[in-house]
Structure 1
Amino acid sequence: MKKQFIANKRAEVEFRTRLQEGAYVSREPSGNELLSELTKRVEKARIIFRAHEQETSFSPFLEIGAERGQRSMLLASEFRAQGFMLDLSLDSLREAEALRRPLKLNKIPQSVVADAYNLPFPNNSFAFIIAFQTIHHFPDPEPILREVNRVLAPGGVFILDEEPIRQSFNVRLWRRPTILRWWEKILKATILLHFLSEIGKSETDAGIIETSFSLPTWEKALNVFETAKAALTVFPFGPTETISKTGQEKWLNPSLPTRILLKLLGGNIQAICTKSPNKRRSYKLQAKHLLPPFVCPSCPPHPLLEQRLGSWYCLTCKNTYPVKDGIPILIERTLRQTLYPNA
């Protein structure tokens, strides 16, 4: 299983800091364009949450790769859920306060800076976990989904969405920005752009991983969950085919027409996964709104952390984790010193 290099993590943090500081990133949305895009993301998340609110407990929840936290704020504000919004970038999480009113959301859940490979929570902690537009920033989805499964409570639900399925028929001559250049607009009008280039220029130029995965790779990653249902949508407007895990190792097999279109055009995957309730304990027996404690990400036993003088402290490894603007930085010691040397 491949994992991110430290250089990729540093690039992610530094890129988000530049954005938070107002640095201009060529051909990427900012100002009103960015607010419009975030509003669309909130509306899409609202539709997804409403579709699942009757049969799913949203508290406690965890959002991985929350960035500015708009979806977590939606859960807290409109669905009265309690939980954590988690990201590797402290500055991205800080932006939540400035966006709360423009997005017409009134609550901000607890923010946490942490590494998705090493979540600072005990096993079986969350009834609901989400990761939107996040997994493609890692070289392999499986280790991330294994960590999600670890902290997901028995009977809990995990949703990933807006993740790309790899397009085979693409020569990948260059990366294009979000806002197309004039000649890229011409190529788009001729339908050639989608077969010659990939998105993600700004991120990859900064050193951030921007990738897509084949169906076998997604299948292998989703197999860490007892049950899963995947909706595969061909780029850009469909069709969409939904497939449920059957208990067999090889199950993510769409019909031949869908498979051909996905190879030709690529697409997106949404997956809804559950952890079997037939374990030692079920989440439904726990207090609904009790947030899980933090555990130490630096020492293998992962003991519970204690709060001391405005920081978090591990009695086992004697490591102290700082809190900045009310946001704990719960990253393994060596990595934290690299990403946040002044924290």
Structure 2
Amino acid sequence: MSLAAAPPAVTVIRQTTSGRLALTLAALALLTVAAMPWWASTGTIRSVLVLCCYIAIAQMWNLLAGYAGLVSVGQQAFMGAGGYALFVLAQTVGINPFVSVALALVVPVILAVPVYLLLHRLEGPYFSIGTWVVAEVFRLVCTNLPLVNGGAGMSLRVMGTYSAFERNVAMSVLCAVMLLVTLGGSYWLLRSRFGIALVAIRDNMTAAASQGVDVARLRFLVFVAAAAGCGLVGAVYFMAQLRITPGAAFDPMWANVAIFIVMIGGIGSIEGVLIGALVFFLAERWFASYGSVYFVALGLLTLATALFAPKGIWGLVSQRWDMSWFPTGRRLANPLRS
């Protein structure tokens, strides 16, 4: 008796040619950023640092809204918490400022737990408003807290013990680390089994829960991870500024920037964050001097994108050309044919 022919093997593809090229370019970009003190001026380093902060905080918001379905407008709460933690640890306690950057992340992580437990029952606009209220509460607390010098803010005078070149080296390395943690960490997460669950939550939360995905647990973990990422952005950004105040630390502008970047670039994709951040960075550098007209133009651009290109610039590109710089899904190379 002859045996039935075995079905052809199925190969699962997790990487593409464009993806390999993008990873190579990303690695070179990180090395270039880390080596900036040896080829770039201080002004260029500060500009690149701001761009890196835009990318990092936008990716944290993208992870929240684009995958976990948590639309926050108050992530500046954790950015400010990370910044203030750095200043207290380095200036008040006396810990090495570069070590304090890592230690400062403990504060936003700890704060994120009760905040999420307080807000997780809210959905949609109520959750968004709740995150904004929390950020305002954090600002008011810092404004009246003697430990952080209240509304007068704090200066990072301890950085004066380091030369300009040493500070540039530290800022450049921290920029590279920040991108590696936020972008690289998100890419790793989305390619893991947790990433599959997050994509399922993004597509249909009810269906994901019916298939055994622990939606509540994953949303909590993403919220805490995003808080840590925003805290890292705050620590690096305000270390470069050498000064922090409640108004700057908890400025709603950061949430606006993150939302604009993700909406313009494309929500639910790492590529969209990179494109949107570059668009915003260049627009800010070239047109910010126009004042209110500049903000109106950005608002109209966001509205037009939401109406006519809801998937953003990257959505249009990926529809026209079937490619992915940072593929997180799985494809069948030779699917079975019936």
Instruction: Give the shorter-chain TM-score range.
Output: under 0.3
Larger helix proportion of the pair: 2
Which one has a bigger Cα radius of gyration? 2
Larger strand proportion of the pair: 1
